[in-house]
């Protein structure tokens, strides 16, 4: 297992059965001082932020970094956050839910442009393209801020030549939480117009405002009753489809069970699988 201590300046993956950094406030072995460049509030409880990036910081789209916020009452509070920016970009971007009363969320809520932050030197994660066997269609399934890692994947050129079709399914409680919808709709239109690259289907799912989106049930129900397949015209099977899941852990568990029943497997002992998961809490 690669630990933060021995993998500074390099991207790394933990084995599937290892506990990722989790939400514990573990102080990282090595971090670099950075600065907040930009903050965008989608709703009072959802924001995106960009921070400066150390020129030696490397990551693979889909990875997360550990961000540290200074706390006047003690040591900096570190949390893992998926990187939403592309590797080619000079900054690092993150998409965050502010959890009421959460130690990190409370500090992040007060963060302003110009404030200092720390970024652990290593990056980690399971949601990378090389964690899946080659396939025809890529399904990027998210709830809430679980959309984050997919933005990095979609902002990088590799995915567009690796798959014929890409589907983003993003489930949120309310329409205002459909962050990045404009960018995803734009990508969907742009990619439909080109024949050389993969086509993108964007399927927003709002669960607590009936009628706002065509799909309004929870994602496992939409998979089970065939709605996702109908909405895209794509079958979901281990031969053609590759699936990534990120966000609510209960949703992940349910999807893992449903996909396993269909014959999907995660990557194990060097044998590439058809599905991959990232657990946020």
Ligand X SMILES: Cc1cc2nc3c(=O)[nH]c(=O)nc-3n(C[C@H](O)[C@H](O)[C@H](O)COP(=O)(O)OP(=O)(O)OC[C@H]3O[C@@H](n4cnc5c(N)ncnc54)[C@H](O)[C@@H]3O)c2cc1C
Ligand Y SMILES: NC(=O)c1ccc[n+]([C@@H]2O[C@H](COP(=O)([O-])OP(=O)(O)OC[C@H]3O[C@@H](n4cnc5c(N)ncnc54)[C@H](OP(=O)(O)O)[C@@H]3O)[C@@H](O)[C@H]2O)c1
Q: Are strands 199-206 and 46-52 parallel, antiparallel or unpaired?
A: unpaired
Length of the chain: 281
DSSP 5: G
CB half-sphere exposure, 174, CA atoms < 13 A:
6
3-state class of 271 per DSSP? Answer: strand
Picking from 271, 40, 265, 241, the residue whose alpha carbon sits closest to that of residue 151 is: 40
**Binding to ligand Y, residues 42-81 (CB under 6 A):** 43, 45-46
Question: Which helix (H) or strand (E) segment is 125 a member of?
Answer: none
Give whichever of 129 and 184 is closer to ligand Y, judged by the CB atom: 184
Q: Is 169 in the site for ligand Y (CB under 6 A)?
A: no
Write out the two tokens for 15.
């084995």
- For ligand Y, which residue of 117, 219, 223, 244 counts as binding (CB under 6 A)? 219
Q: Is 13 in the site for ligand Y (CB under 6 A)?
A: no
Q: Is 204 in the site for ligand X (CB under 6 A)?
A: no
Picked from ligand Y, ligand X, none, the partner binding residue 241 (CB below 5 to 8 A depending on kind) is none
Binding mask 58-97 for ligand X (x = CB under 6 A): ------x--------------xxxx-----------xxxx
Cβ distance 245 to 251 under 8 Å? yes
Q: How close are the terminal C-alpha atoms of the chain, in Å? A: 21
Q: Is 254 in the site for ligand X (CB under 6 A)?
A: no
- For ligand Y, which residue of 40, 173, 186, 268 counts as binding (CB under 6 A)? 173
Q: Is 22 in the site for ligand X (CB under 6 A)?
A: yes
Alpha helices in 115-193 (DSSP H): 148-154, 158-162, 181-193
- For ligand Y, which residue of 64, 220, 259, 267 counts as binding (CB under 6 A)? 220
Q: Is 45 in the site for ligand X (CB under 6 A)?
A: no
In angstroms, give the least distance from the CB of 104 to ligand X.
3
Binding site for ligand Y (CB under 6 A): 43, 45-46, 97-100, 143-144, 171-173, 177, 207-208, 218-220, 248, 250-251, 254
């Amino acid at each position: 297992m690669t630990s933060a201590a021995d993998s500074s300046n390099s991207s790394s993956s933990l084995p599937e059965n290892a506990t990722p950094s989790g939400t514990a406030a573990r102080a990282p072995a090595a971090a670099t001082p950075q600065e907040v460049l930009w903050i965008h509030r989608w709703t009072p409880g959802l924001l995106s932020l960009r921070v400066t990036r150390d020129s030696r910081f490397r990551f693979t789209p889909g990875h997360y970094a550990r961000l540290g916020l200074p706390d006047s009452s003690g040591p900096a509070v570190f949390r893992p956050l998926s990187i939403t920016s592309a590797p080619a970009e000079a900054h690092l971007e993150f998409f965050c839910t502010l959890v009421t009363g959460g130690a990190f969320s409370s500090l992040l809520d007060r963060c302003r442009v110009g404030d200092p932050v720390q970024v652990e030197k290593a990056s980690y994660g399971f949601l990378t393209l090389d964690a899946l066997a080659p396939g025809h269609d890529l399904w990027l399934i998210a709830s809430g801020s679980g959309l984050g890692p997919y933005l990095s994947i979609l902002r990088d050129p590799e995915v567009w030549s690796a798959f014929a079709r890409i589907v983003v399914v993003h489930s949120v409680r309310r329409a205002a939480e459909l962050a990045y919808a404009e960018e995803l709709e734009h990508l969907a239109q742009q990619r439909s117009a080109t024949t050389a690259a993969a086509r993108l289907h964007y399927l927003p799912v709002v669960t607590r405002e009936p009628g706002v989106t065509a799909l309004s049930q929870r994602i496992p129900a939409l998979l089970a009753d065939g709605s996702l397949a109908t909405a895209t015209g794509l079958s979901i099977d281990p031969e053609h489809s590759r699936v990534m899941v990120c966000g609510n852990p209960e949703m992940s568990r349910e999807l893992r069970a449903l996909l396993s029943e269909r014959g999907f497997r995660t990557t194990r002992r060097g044998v590439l699988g058809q599905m991959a998961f990232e657990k946020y809490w």
